[in-house]
Amino acid sequence: MQRLATAFAIAMVLAFGAQAASAQTLKAVQDRGQLVCGGNGTLAGFGMPDPQGNWVGFDVDFCRAIAAAIFNDTKKVKFVPLTTANRFTALQSGEIDLLARNTTWTMSRDTTLGLDFAGVTYYDGQGFMVRKSLNVKSALELSDAAVCVQQGTTTELNLADYFRANRMSLKTVTFATANEAVRAYDTGRCDAYTTDASGLYGERLRLADPSAHIVLPEIISKEPLAPVVRQGDDTWEDLVRWTHEAMLNAEELGITQQNVDDMLKSNSPDVRRLLGAEGQFGQSIGLTNDWAYRIIKAVGNYGESFERNVGQGSPLKIARGLNALWTKGGLQYGLPVR
Amino acid sequence: MSKMLQLPLRSRQQWASIALQAALVVVIGGLAYGAFINAADNLAKAHIASGFRFWDNTAGFDISQTLIGYSPSTSTFGRAFWVGLLNTLLVASLGIVLATALGFTIGIARLSRNWLVARLAGGYVELIRNVPLLLQILFWYNAVLKSLPDLHSSISISGGAFLNNRGLFLPRPEFADKFDYVAAALVFGIVATLAVRIWARRRQERTGQPPRTLSFAFGLIVVLPLLVFFAAGAPLSFSFPEVGRFNIRGGTEILPEFAALLVALTIYTAAFIAEVVRAGILAVSQGQTEAAQALGLRSGSTLRLVVVPQAMRVIVPPLTSQYLNLIKNSSLAVAIGYPDLVQVFAGSVLNITGQAVEVIAITMAVYLFLSLVTSLLMNLYGRTVGIVER
Ligand SMILES: N[C@@H](CCC(=O)N[C@@H](CS)C(=O)NCC(=O)O)C(=O)O
For every residue of B72-96, which 3-state class applies, written as one string? CCCCEHHHHHHHHHHHHHHHHHHHH
Q: Which amino acid is at A43?
A: L
Categorize the per-residue pLDDT at B341 as very low, low, confident or very high, splitting at 50, 70 and 90.
Answer: very high
Q: Which residues of B touch A101 (CB under 8 A)?
A: none
A99 close contact with B: CB closer than 8 A? no
Q: Which residue has the higher pLDDT, B112 or B389?
A: B112
Which residues sit with their C-beta closer than 6 Å to ligand 1?
Answer: A 40, 42-43, 83-84, 102-104, 150, 153-155, 177-179, 195-196, 199, 223, 225
Tell me the residue range of the domain where A175 lies.
Answer: 126-221
Q: Are A119 and A11 contained in the same domain?
A: yes
What sign does the dihedral B347-B349-B354-B359 (CA atoms) show? negative
Best mutation target, B246, B324, B349, to test chain A (most A CBs within 10 A): B246
Q: Do A84 and B45 touch (CB under 8 A)?
A: no
Q: Please identify, by atom number, the ligand 1 atom nearest to the C-alpha of residue A202.
A: 10
Question: Which residue among A15, A151, A172 places its CB closest to the CB of B42?
Answer: A15
Residue B106 lies in a domain: yes
Number of structural domains chain A divides into: 2
Rounded alpha-carbon distances, angstroms, from residue A224 to A104, A107, B37: 5, 11, 36
Best mutation target, B351, B355, B357, to test chain A (most A CBs within 10 A): B351
Q: Which residue has the higher pLDDT, A330 or B209?
A: A330
Q: Are A103 and A145 contained in the same domain?
A: no
Q: What is the nearest CA distance from B227 to chain A, expressed in angstroms?
A: 40
- A287 secondary structure, DSSP code: S
DSSP code string of B325-336:
HHHHHGGGGGGG
Minimal-distance CA residue of chain B relative to A176: B334
CA of A84 from ligand 1 middle (Å) equals 6
Residue B147 lies in a domain: yes
Residue A69 lies in a domain: yes
- Mention every residue, 6+ apart, whose C-beta is less than 8 A from residue B119: none
Q: Are A87 and A11 contained in the same domain?
A: yes
Q: Do B360 and A7 touch (CB under 8 A)?
A: yes
Q: Are A104 and A230 contained in the same domain?
A: yes
Domain at A312, CATH number: 3.40.190.10
Q: Do B48 and A92 touch (CB under 8 A)?
A: yes
B374, B121 Cβ separation under 8 angstroms: no
What pLDDT, in 10s, does the model give residues B272-316?
Answer: 999 999 999 999 988 998 999 898 888 888 888 888 888 998 999
Q: Are A150 and A116 contained in the same domain?
A: no
Question: Which residue among B38, B61, B363 places its CB closest to the CB of A160?
Answer: B61
pLDDT at B1 over 50: no
Residue A336 lies in a domain: no
CA–CA distance, A99 with A78 (Å, rounded to integer): 12
What pLDDT, in 10s, does the model give residues A177-200?
Answer: 898 999 999 989 999 999 999 999
Q: Which residue has the higher pLDDT, B143 or A254?
A: A254
B187 close contact with A: CB closer than 8 A? no
CA–CA distance, A80 with A89 (Å, rounded to integer): 13
Window 21-80 of A, Cβ < 8 Å to B? 22
Average pLDDT over residues B333-337: 91
Domain at B91, CATH number: 1.10.3720.10
pLDDT at B241 over 90: no
- Three-state SS at B232: coil
Categorize the per-residue pLDDT at B232 as very low, low, confident or very high, splitting at 50, 70 and 90.
Answer: confident
CA–CA distance, A337 with A335 (Å, rounded to integer): 7
The pLDDT of residue A21 is: 44
Residue A333 lies in a domain: no
Query: Closest by alpha carbon to B97, among B384, B373, B322?
Result: B322
What pLDDT, in 10s, does the model give residues A118-167?
Answer: 999 999 999 999 999 999 999 999 998 999 999 989 999 999 999 999 99
The pLDDT of residue B124 is: 97
The pLDDT of residue B173 is: 82
Q: Do A172 and B62 touch (CB under 8 A)?
A: yes
Q: Are A189 and A264 contained in the same domain?
A: no
Mutate which of A88, A148, A195 for ligand 1? The one with the most ligand atoms within 8 Å of its CB, which is A195
Residue A334 lies in a domain: no
For chain B, percent helix, then strand, then coil, each to nearest 5? 70, 5, 20
Q: Please identify, by atom number, the ligand 1 atom nearest to the C-alpha of residue A198.
A: 10
Q: Which residue has the higher pLDDT, A3 or A287?
A: A287
DSSP H helices, chain A, are: 2-16, 25-32, 58-71, 87-92, 107-112, 154-165, 178-186, 197-204, 234-252, 260-263, 269-275, 281-284, 291-299, 302-309
Q: Are A100 and A241 contained in the same domain?
A: yes
Tell me the residue range of the domain where B84 lies.
Answer: 55-151+255-342+365-390
Average pLDDT over residues B188-196: 90
Residue whose CA is closest, atom 13 of ligand 1? A178
Pairing between β-strand A35-39 and β-strand A77-81 as defined by DSSP bridges: parallel
Residue B123 lies in a domain: yes
Average pLDDT over residues A42-55: 94
What pLDDT, in 10s, does the model give residues B362-377?
Answer: 999 999 999 999 999 9
Q: Are A62 and A76 contained in the same domain?
A: yes
CA–CA distance, B58 with B48 (Å, rounded to integer): 20
A114 close contact with B: CB closer than 8 A? yes
CA–CA distance, B69 with A127 (Å, rounded to integer): 29
Question: Which residue among A15, A112, A145 places its CB closest to the CB of B354?
Answer: A112
Lowest mean pLDDT among A99-108, B74-83, B113-122, B231-240: B231-240
B248, B241 Cβ separation under 8 angstroms: yes
Q: Are A54 and A107 contained in the same domain?
A: yes
- Mention every residue, 6+ apart, whose C-beta is less than 8 A from residue B268: B99, B128, B129, B133, B136, B329
CA of B242 from ligand 1 middle (Å) equals 35
Q: Which residues of A touch B37 (CB under 8 A)?
A: none
Q: Are A214 and A257 contained in the same domain?
A: no
Q: What value, to the nearest 5°, has the Cα angle with vertex A291 and ends A286 and A294?
A: 150
CA of B140 from ligand 1 middle (Å) equals 27
- What number is the ipTM of this complex? 0.85
A293, A275 Cβ separation under 8 angstroms: yes
Q: Which of A221, A251, A283 is the last residue of a domain?
A: A221
Q: Do A161 and B42 touch (CB under 8 A)?
A: no
Q: Please identify, by atom number, the ligand 1 atom nearest to the C-alpha of residue A156.
A: 20
What pLDDT, in 10s, does the model give residues A191-234?
Answer: 999 999 999 998 998 899 999 999 999 999 999 999 999 999 99
Best mutation target, B62, B257, B330, B340, to test chain A (most A CBs within 10 A): B62
Q: What is the rounded average pLDDT for all residues in chain A?
A: 92
Q: Which of A221, A245, A262 is the last residue of a domain?
A: A221
Q: Which of A188, A221, A254 is the last residue of a domain?
A: A221
Q: Which residues of A touch B364 (CB under 8 A)?
A: 4, 8
A159 close contact with B: CB closer than 8 A? yes
The pLDDT of residue B146 is: 81
Q: Do B332 and A1 touch (CB under 8 A)?
A: yes
What pLDDT, in 10s, does the model give residues A14-39?
Answer: 666 655 446 789 999 999 999 999 99
Q: Are A141 and A188 contained in the same domain?
A: yes
Q: Are A42 and A104 contained in the same domain?
A: yes
